[in-house]
Amino acid sequence: MAAVKKIALIVGSSRVGGNAPGIAAWLSPLIQKQLNLTSATTKQSYEVVVVHPTDHPLGPVVWGAKMPMQIRDPADYPSQTVRDWSAFVSSFAGFVFLTPEYNGGYPGDLKNALDHVYWEWEGKAASIVSYGGGGGGRSAAQLTDILKSVRLTLTSKAVNITVPGPFISGEDRVLAGSAHPEFLGAYVQPVEEATGELLALLQEEKKAEST
């Protein structure tokens, strides 16, 4: 059996009391199950790791003498935090970015996480899941441009989850560790389809590595 490959589910918002942790808790096992449907025949299995923007090794980019694009050797990063983040990103085979839509765009937390490093993202498979009152489509579109700029290989479509009003401006929230609200059921199939495409990209990477 081949070693388990890790997929990072990067949560794009650190907002306290928001829906991100609950949606991530719903999304993570769904993605992992879909990725591993063919593990018995492919001899490759995947583990989804949820990455929150407040957890180590994330931190602010505070050094600007060189752009990350100019740093090929991770040892040249001046900050231990950035070196840790570089090693962390490099340890993953692929990524799923979970982003809300704030004021028509994606959060600064997510942009900052992306901007720590550059070459570490190159050529890896990725998918976007957005959410918001209108599905987060504008956030996903902006993020698509950024992810392509750091040379990630994206699935053709993002999953856009429309969150009902009470979960945005009311007191309801999608909570981790609780029963998931019914509205998420409509997005199981889109997530499965996007994950199937992500798996195909991961398998293409594996073939390229073996040639």
**CATH code, 193:** 3.40.50.360
Q: pLDDT of 138-193, one tens digit each?
A: 999 999 999 999 999 999 989 999 999 999 999 999 999 889 999 999 999 999 99
- Nearest to residue 106, comparing CAs of 130, 82, 127, 85? 130
Task: Please give the share of the chain, as a percent, with pLDDT higher than 70.
Answer: 93
Helix (H) or strand (E) holding 111: helix 108-115
Strands 5-11 and 46-51: parallel
Query: Distance between CA atoms of 13 and 186, rounded to whole angstroms?
Result: 23
Q: Residue 170 has what pLDDT?
A: 95
Neighbours of 113 (CB within 10 A): 21
pLDDT-derived band at 63 (thresholds 50, 70, 90) equals: low
C-alpha dihedral over 19, 189, 97, 36, to 10 degrees? 120
Instruction: Count the domains in the chain.
Output: 1
Domain encompassing residue 193: 5-210
- Is 208 a residue whose pLDDT tops 90? no
Give the mean pLDDT of 123-139.
Answer: 97
* 14 close to 52: Cβ distance less than 8 angstroms: yes
* 169 close to 88: Cβ distance less than 8 angstroms: no
Q: Residue 151 has what pLDDT?
A: 97
Cβ-proximal residues to 159 (8 Å cutoff; 6+ apart), any chain: 127, 128, 129, 130, 187, 190, 191, 194
In this prediction the pTM is 0.94
* 83 close to 49: Cβ distance less than 8 angstroms: no
